Amino acid sequence: MKIENVLREIEAREDEIVALTQDLIRFPTINPPGEAYQPCAEFLGARLKRRGFEVEYVRAEGAPGDSDKYPRINVVARREGKRPGPCVHFNGHLDVVQTGAGWTLDPFAGIVKDGKVYGRGACDMKGGLAAAIVAVEALIDSGLELPGALEISGTVDEESGGYGGVAYLAERGWFSNPRVDHVIIPEPLNVDRVCIGHRGVWWAEIETLGRIAHGSMPFLGDSAIRHMTAVLEKFEHELYPALAARHSDMPVVPDGARQSTMNINSVHGGEAESFEGLPAPCVADSCRMVIDRRFLIEEALSSVQAEVKDILDRLARDRPGFRYKMRDLFSVQPTMADRNGPVASATAQAVQDVLGREAKIVCSPGTYDQKHVDRIGKLKDCIAYGPGVLDLAHRPDEWVGINDMVDSAKVMALAAVNLLTRGPG
Ligand SMILES: [Zn+2]
């Protein structure tokens, strides 16, 4: 069978892509806490086993959140070709974030309407995983007798950092050479874009300290909230302008994310938020802020941290009574694959062939599991490519376009053929 016939076959399997997406959405794999991971993984494993895959289930014992009630179950399926060759791996995360408010339809029914499948995870990223699976199945059925191996994994906990999913597997060699050569993660980055990496992340908590006193005589105490105001003022006038001026060579989308950014996740000082009745008159002796700093591949984590610490240290020197504590909460290094590497160039070429327009090479504003494949698995040839629309991820009435899923399945099939037949990885 020729490759054109494979593409026609994928078109003919549109209903199958839709049905598989619906099936996946109907498992409410909400994370946290990690609902329905096991039945969802077993559903995929059973399907792939019927197609001749060797299927393994890997529970991330001891990973954050793993328990008998909420086991972190991953599924990895591998199918060897007729002769030796490289391995192309498609990885999708099974978990979804909570639904949140504002839905106008059932988030776990898999409703199809106006050429779209709706539901939590439709776009991020069960639609992409379904497209990858049907693409691989069409290749297997085509009789093309491809060399090498095809792998598909359904992994968990991506939304909470991936430690019970791709990180756990990568630590045990599942995402390393020689087992795997090329990885495509069908995250929702839009059907005509090839995503080669993402920015770094640093979360930290800053606490300013004061001295409690009666609220009618605040001059007898020292307000931690006013000290935090001084921090915020420095952020506004020094840090934010500095971040905005720092541009990356990484092609991050959307444009606003092509610079360093920082979100103030929360600020809280003084009287606890949950009290009944009226508050008591007190000067705040503590104020805490959580920051979410996204940094560029050109920046080092240590300098990102030092920049904030420097502001706090200068305040401690210049502002009477200023005392603070800073605590690192979490960090992720930026990652970027070679845009001319095998998987990025094969996928970009496939986008051109299927859609008739040039693929955009982009980086993601937020992180996803590529970091673990790169840092832990030491496998650089990894990208994200998938059918969902990035802006819809985590929103109410999330959907994925049926035409986009079919197109992306064709792109993934073409890219896989190219990668498997170009010789050893
Ligand atoms: Zn995702």
Over residues 349-363, the pLDDT tens digits come to: 999 999 999 999 999
Q: Cα of 365 to ligand 1 centre, how many Å? A: 12
Q: Cα of 272 to ligand 1 centre, how many Å? A: 34
Average pLDDT over residues 399-421: 97
**Minimum mean pLDDT range among 119-123, 271-275, 324-328, 360-364:** 271-275
Q: Cα of 92 to ligand 1 centre, how many Å? A: 8
Average pLDDT over residues 9-15: 97
Q: Cα of 168 to ligand 1 centre, how many Å? A: 17
Q: Cα of 129 to ligand 1 centre, how many Å? A: 10
Q: Cα of 384 to ligand 1 centre, how many Å? A: 10
Average pLDDT over residues 385-398: 94
Asked about 158 being catalytic, the answer comes back as: yes
Asked about 95 being catalytic, the answer comes back as: yes
pLDDT of residue 274: 78
Average pLDDT over residues 138-145: 92
Q: Of 1 and 240, which is predicted with more confidence?
A: 240
Instruction: Evaluate if residue 377 carries a pLDDT over 50.
Output: yes
pLDDT of residue 277: 86
Q: Cα of 330 to ligand 1 centre, how many Å? A: 19
Reported as a pLDDT band with limits 50, 70 and 90, residue 425 is very low
Calculate what percentage of the chain has a pLDDT beyond 90.
94
Average pLDDT over residues 387-408: 96
Active-site position among 9, 95, 181, 222? 95
pLDDT of residue 3: 86
Active-site position among 124, 151, 157, 158? 158
Q: Cα of 21 to ligand 1 centre, how many Å? A: 15
Instruction: Evaluate if residue 308 carries a pLDDT over 70.
Output: yes
Reported as a pLDDT band with limits 50, 70 and 90, residue 1 is low
Mean per-residue pLDDT over the chain, rounded: 96
Instruction: Evaluate if residue 128 carries a pLDDT over 80.
Output: yes
Instruction: Evaluate if residue 275 carries a pLDDT over 80.
Output: no
Average pLDDT over residues 356-374: 96
Reported as a pLDDT band with limits 50, 70 and 90, residue 83 is very high
Reported as a pLDDT band with limits 50, 70 and 90, residue 411 is very high
Q: Which residues are CB-neighbours of 276 under 8 A, at least 6 positions away?
A: none
Report field, pTM of the whole predicted structure over 0.85: yes
Q: What is the pLDDT of residues 159-192, one digit of tens each?
A: 999 999 999 999 999 999 999 999 999 999 999 9
Q: Cα of 125 to ligand 1 centre, how many Å? A: 5
Average pLDDT over residues 68-78: 98
